[in-house]
């Protein structure tokens, strides 16, 4: 984690990203679905997302959401294809 940041620091860090990885352990809270605000923020800024849970606000075949990878190579291949 990066802790508290100024907006300029946040944007500088964001610009280094290739893909946003959402929560990986929602099931621990008993959740199968989520609708996280940070996912919307990343999508609005043009960053594709990797989610292991169903996002109730996104269409089923939303092209900027990848959820079928089984390893980091699959995720990176998707991210590179989207950039």
d(CA 39, CA 14) in angstroms, rounded, equals 13
d(CA 33, CA 55) in angstroms, rounded, equals 6
Residue 64 or residue 24, greater confidence: 64
| 33-58 pLDDT per residue, tens | 777 788 888 899 899 999 888 888 88
pTM: 0.76
Residue 27 or residue 15, greater confidence: 15
Long-range CB contact pairs, 25-29, < 8 A, 24+ = 26/52, 26/53, 27/53
């Amino acid at each position: 984690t990066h802790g508290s940041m100024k907006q300029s620091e946040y944007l500088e860090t964001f610009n280094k990203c290739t893909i946003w990885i959402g929560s990986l352990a929602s099931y621990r809270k008993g959740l199968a679905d989520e609708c996280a605000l940070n996912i919307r923020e990343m999508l609005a800024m043009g960053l594709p997302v990797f989610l292991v849970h169903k996002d109730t606000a996104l269409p089923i075949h939303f092209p900027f959401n990848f959820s079928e990878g089984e390893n980091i190579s699959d995720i990176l291949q998707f991210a590179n294809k989207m950039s």
